[in-house]
């Protein structure tokens, strides 16, 4: 299913590189491979050891960087960011990396996640006379660091990190040092790679593949890494650490070729499809996946069930920002947008339609209807993850509980609403088995949006008034 239709919005991606003379260009390629994590804006801040220079714009990575003058962005260290698109807070000031200059030293900051107590912290800072320049939760950390001694060091950053509550992956750059921090629960992914002698940091490992770098290790929950000309050093800034990787990274958010916490995303999705076939088989003729994110699960389902996988739904590759939306009238007359059914494949068949998740149900309804109009005899919807019933406070911009169809309806009701012949979800156990299958060491995933088990809590978490990333 499609992000823009579904109402799940990705949560930014961060990228950093230390020690390569083409730092800005490699940041472009790294961000490009993480374009799916944010389409609103992108940017890079580069350091030549003495000065920080920024290039940031609204728009897709290609659009942003076609205006970049790489010769002016010289320097062997860079940090980059892609930002997702929501209605509010869609302004250039919020595009990261945020850059703060001063007469003594400057600081750039790139963030993925959500600071749950940002509103409270911000009020305190303003009462003391500080002026904040963005409406993003990410900026609060910079002021906390500055207030902790007007120096940017491991100590002031640790002190500041201990004041923020939430899920976050941070890269902080000053003229001669890069700092990398992950929250104590490790909800958001963040990895370290190597490209020759250079260090690379990225939200997803697909960025390493993109630039020819190799995976080195995951950043650990509660870890603060310092990279400088003296190499890499690390401390743990938090008392307790326990990894709870966001399950949605596997289900939907990450790119299939990324390994999230040592697990390949495509493989985990194929596993989800296989587990789903075991849990909820159904007599049918063909298995069809909703492109792009459900293809892996559909192939897994087909393989496990022995049914043929067919390309029964086509995604139009050229539908993008500039696509002219058909009017209501034309849509009713049958004009398609992003997805089209393939009549000669669907007609007369009993179809198992695999999707990765259902949020509001409106798109599922449309696809089921589309398949039936193309002649499907039956449509059995199989969802390769447990149903989503709760909001996320850790950085995913999901619909509110009132909009979540599974928070308000039983499975048979959902089947009825979307017009399917049957609906089944993968179980929580099935999801864990699919994701953690090959792992010998124990570790957990955060399934709060499915199960309501929130690993991080903050009183007054409703106050979230700022744009998260």
Q: What residues from 69 to 108 belong to the interface with a second copy (CB under 8 A)?
A: 92, 100-104
Strands 422-425 vs 378-383: parallel, antiparallel or unpaired: parallel
Q: Is 150 in the site for a second copy (CB under 8 A)?
A: yes
Q: Could you give the string, one character per residue 371-410, with x where binding to a second copy holds by CB under 8 A and - elsewhere?
A: ----------------------------------------
Residues 85, 405: Cα–Cα separation, whole Å: 23
Whether the link from the prior residue into 117 is cis, omega within 30° of 0, is no
Q: Which stretch binds a second copy (CB under 8 A): 56-64, 176-184, 245-253, 361-369?
A: 56-64
Counted residue by residue, the chain has a size of: 469
Site for a second copy in 250-289 (CB under 8 A): 255-257, 259, 264, 266-267, 270
Residue from the set 69, 126, 176, 459 that interacts with a second copy by CB under 8 A: 126
Total residues interacting with a second copy, rule: CB under 8 A: 86
Q: How far is CA 264 from CA 30, 216, 251, 439, in A?
A: 18, 15, 11, 11
Q: Which stretch binds a second copy (CB under 8 A): 108-116, 275-283, 290-298, 414-422?
A: 290-298
- Of 120 and 350, the one with the shorter C-beta distance to a second copy is 120
Residue 48 burial class via C-beta count within 10 angstroms: exposed 0-12, middle 13-18, buried 19 and up: middle
- Of 101 and 401, the one with the shorter C-beta distance to a second copy is 101
Residue 469 among known ligand-binding residues: no
Alpha helices in 164-252 (DSSP H): 206-211, 247-248
- Of 119 and 424, the one with the shorter C-beta distance to a second copy is 119
Torsion of CA 364, 367, 368, 373, to 10 degrees: 160
Site for a second copy in 223-252 (CB under 8 A): none
Residue 257 among known ligand-binding residues: no
Residues 115, 156: Cα–Cα separation, whole Å: 18
Site for a second copy in 162-181 (CB under 8 A): none
Check if the beta carbon of residue 292 is closer than 8 Å to that of residue 316.
Answer: no
- Using left for φ > 0, alpha for ψ between -120 and 50, and beta otherwise, residue 349 falls in beta
Residue 392 among known ligand-binding residues: yes
CB of residue 129 to a second copy, shortest distance in Å? 4
Q: Which two tokens stand for residue 444?
A: 């957990």
| H or E segment to which residue 416 belongs | helix 411-418
Check if the beta carbon of residue 233 is closer than 8 Å to that of residue 225.
Answer: yes
Q: Is 147 in the site for a second copy (CB under 8 A)?
A: yes
Q: Is 186 in the site for a second copy (CB under 8 A)?
A: no
Q: What is the Cβ-side half-sphere exposure of residue 433, based on CA atoms within 13 angstroms?
A: 15
Residue 356 among known ligand-binding residues: yes
Residue 446 among known ligand-binding residues: yes
207-223: burial string, b at 16+ Cβ within 10 Å, e else: bbbbbebebeebbbbbb
Q: Is 318 in the site for a second copy (CB under 8 A)?
A: yes
Residue 206 among known ligand-binding residues: no
Q: Which stretch binds a second copy (CB under 8 A): 57-65, 351-359, 397-405, 424-432?
A: 57-65
Q: Is 17 in the site for a second copy (CB under 8 A)?
A: no
Q: Could you give the string, one character per residue 21-40, with x where binding to a second copy holds by CB under 8 A and - elsewhere?
A: -x--xx-xx--xx-xx----
Catalytic residues: 12
- Of 211 and 449, the one with the shorter C-beta distance to a second copy is 211
Which residues are part of a known binding site for Mg(2+)?
293, 355-356
Which residues are part of a known binding site?
246, 293, 355-356, 392, 446, 449
């Amino acid at each position: 299913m499609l992000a823009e239709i579904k109402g799940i919005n990705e949560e930014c991606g961060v990228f950093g590189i230390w020690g390569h003379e083409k730092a800005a260009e490699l940041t472009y390629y790294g961000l490009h491979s993480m374009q799916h994590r944010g389409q609103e804006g992108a940017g890079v801040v580069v350091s030549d050891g003495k000065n920080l220079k920024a290039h940031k714009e609204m728009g897709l990575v290609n659009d942003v960087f076609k205006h970049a003058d790489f010769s002016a962005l010289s320097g062997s260290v860079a940090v980059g960011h892609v930002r997702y698109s929501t209605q509010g807070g869609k302004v250039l000031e919020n595009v990261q990396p945020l850059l703060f200059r001063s007469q003594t030293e400057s600081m750039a900051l790139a963030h993925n996640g959500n600071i749950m107590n940002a509103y409270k912290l911000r009020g305190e800072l303003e009462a003391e006379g500080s002026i904040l320049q963005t409406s993003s939760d990410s900026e609060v950390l910079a002021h906390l660091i500055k207030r902790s001694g007007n120096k940017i060091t491991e100590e002031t950053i640790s002190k500041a990190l201990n004041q923020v509550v939430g899920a976050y992956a941070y890269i902080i750059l000053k003229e001669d040092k890069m700092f990398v921090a992950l929250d104590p629960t490790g909800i958001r992914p963040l990895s370290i790679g190597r490209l020759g002698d250079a260090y690379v940091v990225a939200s997803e490992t697909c960025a390493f593949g993109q630039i020819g770098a190799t995976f080195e290790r995951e950043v650990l929950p509660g870890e603060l890494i310092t990279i400088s000309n003296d190499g890499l050093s690390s401390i743990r800034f938090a008392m307790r650490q326990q990894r709870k990787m966001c399950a949605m990274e596997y289900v939907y958010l990450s790119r299939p070729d990324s390994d999230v916490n040592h697990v390949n995303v495509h493989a985990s999705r194929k596993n989800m499809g296989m587990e789903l076939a075991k849990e909820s088989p159904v007599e049918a003729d063909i298995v069809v996946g909703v492109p792009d994110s459900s293809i892996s699960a559909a192939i897994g389902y087909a393989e496990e069930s022995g049914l043929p996988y067919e390309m029964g739904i086509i995604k139009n590759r050229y539908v993008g920002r500039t696509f002219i939306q058909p009017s209501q009238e034309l849509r009713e007359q049958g004009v398609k947008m992003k997805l089209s059914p393939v009549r000669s494949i669907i007609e007369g068949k009993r179809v198992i339609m695999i999707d990765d998740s259902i949020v509001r149900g409106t798109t599922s309804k449309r696809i089921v209807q589309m398949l039936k109009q193309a002649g499907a005899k039956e449509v059995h919807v199989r969802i390769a993850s447990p149903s989503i019933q709760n909001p996320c406070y850790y950085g995913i911009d999901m619909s509110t509980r009132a909009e979540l169809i599974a928070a308000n309806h039983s499975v048979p009701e959902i089947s009825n609403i979307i017009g399917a012949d049957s609906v089944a979800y993968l179980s929580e156990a099935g999801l864990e088995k699919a994701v953690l299958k090959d792992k010998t060491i124990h570790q957990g995933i955060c399934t709060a949006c499915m199960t309501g088990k929130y690993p991080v809590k903050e009183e007054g978490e409703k106050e979230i008034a700022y744009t998260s990333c």
